């Protein structure tokens, strides 16, 4: 296959890149190793939007993300009033709407296909899939989350936090069924919400002090062994009463891109699922008769490698709500650092009416092949800022900008860096992105 733009990876950023490039007029191929689109949002069962995109009732992220969210709303597949501004969605409908949007835009995609090899040459990029298929492209977007192929072709990268390179811990997410919402609401009224549009009741537990107190007392009694001091999320699945997905484990490793470490982390993550389910059955109102419906297809990686780009977005810039002239996306999700070596989480929220910008230069490698641009959580940033923009609404918007950049570069026959932010911003605005 020969295309203008090849997107490596089909998580939220790869999806945004593929649709963004196709809407700009490029021929596009996307390759994803899982049999579904969505990355961590489907394969990782992290099926909710963190609040990067809303400032009160005002949306600050539009474009491909806004269109997808609108489609989920139309299908009653998302709750928009979860605790902490979280918006849980049905992962199957999410994946099918992503596939529909790719198809409508003309994206050709290969699901269940692993990219075994990737090269950049003078005249573009070539990927070799595990089944032997070759895809050649003028330009490529690395949307693997780990900057796998940017690293392989010589783009400089950093790993984890400054100083010791440690990364945020991993979590194996899962879905529960059989939650008795009436019993839960009787003891923990704050834990059950009602969706504004459908009227459906659903679990919405995130960072609540009553749940954290229970975690602490069970840990002290030696009955709970998960090394974290709170429950990040137990969130109802739209359209499935009594179901919820859980984000509660915490596994420490030094390098999630090392397959051997990842395998050990997955085994520990599964042990934590058993520990967590037993704790919920024992202690949480309405959960005495829950069952483990399914585990995610893979353990969730929050942080690994990031490229060194033309600019590195820092936590200080995010906290100062910095506006950049080359903005390609806005974000207002809190700084959310899961400690790389302890049970705590640092949270620092943004005041109403404030957000920060993500600059185009963070997507553009500072060195390496000129046909490659990077999307998603692996853009050029430090540990602190990436703890915020790594969530799915913002990485989808970053992906769209990466796709638009690659499409313009393909049309003009120029290097990624030569595109510059101006034409990208113009095209993003025309596609409904919100940049101010
Ligand atoms: C435990 C956990 C909880 C989180 N909670 C939330 C939350 O509540 N809300 C929220 O909005 N965000 C949350 N996030 C963050 C968010 O889900 C991720 O940061 C986001 O999905 C990153 O998007 P991405 O496209 O950069 O990478 P990913 O989602 O990781 O997608 C990368 C894709 O590339 C594919 N890929 C990689 N290598 C290859 C290859 N060789 N061949 C083919 N395909 C390949 C992978 O299979 C994957 O699908 C959470 C993350 C984790 C880990």
pLDDT at 122: 82
Q: Is 319 left (phi over 0), alpha (psi -120 to 50) or beta?
A: alpha
Q: How far is the CA of 379 from the centre of ligand 1 (A)?
A: 13
Check: CB of residue 54 under 8 Å from CB of residue 60: yes
Atom of ligand 1 nearest to the CA of 298: 47
Contacts of residue 293, defined as CB under 8 A and 6 or more positions apart, other chains included, come to 174, 175, 176, 177, 243
CA 254 to chain centre: 20
Block residue for tokens 């050709």 = 108
Using most ligand atoms within 8 A of CB, pick from 45, 65, 145 the residue to mutate for ligand 1.
145
pLDDT at 352: 94
For ligand 1, say whether the CB of 38 is within 6 Å of any of its atoms: no
Three-state DSSP at 265 gives helix
Distance CA 77, CA 379 (A): 30
Please give the angle made by the CA atoms of 104, 107 and 111, to the nearest 5 degrees: 110
Reported pTM: 0.98
* % residues pLDDT > 90 (the chain): 97
Q: How far is the CA of 38 from the centre of ligand 1 (A)?
A: 8
For ligand 1, say whether the CB of 13 is within 6 Å of any of its atoms: yes
- What is the 8-class DSSP label of residue 40? G
Q: How far is the CA of 40 from the centre of ligand 1 (A)?
A: 4
Token representation of residue 303: 């942080």
For ligand 1, say whether the CB of 390 is within 6 Å of any of its atoms: yes
Check: CB of residue 225 under 8 Å from CB of residue 275: yes
Using most ligand atoms within 8 A of CB, pick from 19, 29, 40, 119 the residue to mutate for ligand 1.
40
pLDDT digit string (tens) for 244-258? 999 999 999 999 999
Distance CA 326, CA 323 (A): 9
Three-state DSSP at 8 gives strand
Which residue's alpha carbon is at the smallest distance from atom 51 of ligand 1?
302
Which residue's alpha carbon is at the smallest distance from atom 27 of ligand 1?
145
Q: How far is the CA of 336 from the centre of ligand 1 (A)?
A: 16
Q: How far is the CA of 300 from the centre of ligand 1 (A)?
A: 7
pLDDT at 420: 98
pLDDT digit string (tens) for 163-201? 999 999 999 999 999 999 999 999 999 999 999 999 999
Q: How far is the CA of 2 from the centre of ligand 1 (A)?
A: 27
Three-state DSSP at 207 gives coil
pLDDT at 84: 85
Q: At what angle do helices 91-105 and 63-74 cross, to 10 degrees?
A: 130
In the predicted model, residues of the chain with pLDDT beneath 70 are none
Cβ neighbours of 103 (radius 10 Å) = 12
Residue 195 φ/ψ, nearest 5 degrees: -65, 135
Q: How far is the CA of 223 from the centre of ligand 1 (A)?
A: 31
CA–CA distances in Å: residue 313 to residues 302, 380, 386: 17, 6, 8
pLDDT at 50: 97
- What is the 8-class DSSP label of residue 288? T
For ligand 1, say whether the CB of 257 is within 6 Å of any of its atoms: no
């Amino acid at each position: 296959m020969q295309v203008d733009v090849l997107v490596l990876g089909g998580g939220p950023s790869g999806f945004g890149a593929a649709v963004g490039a196709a809407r700009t007029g490029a021929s596009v191929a996307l390759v994803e190793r899982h049999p579904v689109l969505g990355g961590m949002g489907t394969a990782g069962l992290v099926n909710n939007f963190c609040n990067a995109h809303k400032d009160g009732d005002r949306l600050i992220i539009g474009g491909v993300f806004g269109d997808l969210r609108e489609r989920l709303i139309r299908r009653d597949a998302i709750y928009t009033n979860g605790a902490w501004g979280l918006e849980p969605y049905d992962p199957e409908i999410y994946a099918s709407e992503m596939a529909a949007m790719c198809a409508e835009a003309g994206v050709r995609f290969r699901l269940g296909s692993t990219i075994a090899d990737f090269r950049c040459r003078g005249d573009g990029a070539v990927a070799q899939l595990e089944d032997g298929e070759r895809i050649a492209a003028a330009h490529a977007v690395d949307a693997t989350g780990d900057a796998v192929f940017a690293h392989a072709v010589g783009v400089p990268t950093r790993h984890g936090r400054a100083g010791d390179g440690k990364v945020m811990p991993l979590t194996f997410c899962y879905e529960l069924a059989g939650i008795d919402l009436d019993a839960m609401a009787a003891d923990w009224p704050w834990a059950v919400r009602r969706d504004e549009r459908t009227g459906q009741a659903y679990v919405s537990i995130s960072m609540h002090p009553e749940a954290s107190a229970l975690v602490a007392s069970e840990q002290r009694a030696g009955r709970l062994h998960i090394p974290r001091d709170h429950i990040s999320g137990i969130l109802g699945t739209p359209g499935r009463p009594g179901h919820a997905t859980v984000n509660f484990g915490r596994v420490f490793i030094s390098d999630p891109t090392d397959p051997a470490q990842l395998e050990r982390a997955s085994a520990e993550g599964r042990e934590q699922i058993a520990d967590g389910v037993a704790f919920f059955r024992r202690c949480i109102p309405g959960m005495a008769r829950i069952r483990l419906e399914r585990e995610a297809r893979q353990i969730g990686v929050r942080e690994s490698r990031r490229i060194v780009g033309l600019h590195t977005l820092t936590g200080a810039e995010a906290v100062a709500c910095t506006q950049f002239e080359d903005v390609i996306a806005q974000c207002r999700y809190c700084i959310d650092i899961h400690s790389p070596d302890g049970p705590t989480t640092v949270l620092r929220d943004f005041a109403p009416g404030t957000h920060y910008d993500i600059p185009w230069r963070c997507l553009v490698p500072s060195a390496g092949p000129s046909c490659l641009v990077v999307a998603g959580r692996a853009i050029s940033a430090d540990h602190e800022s990436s703890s915020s923009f790594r969530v799915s609404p913002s990485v989808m918007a970053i992906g769209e900008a990466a796709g638009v950049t690659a499409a313009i570069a393909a049309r003009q026959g120029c290097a990624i860096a030569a595109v510059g932010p101006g034409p990208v911003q113009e095209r993003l605005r025309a596609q409904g992105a919100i940049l101010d």
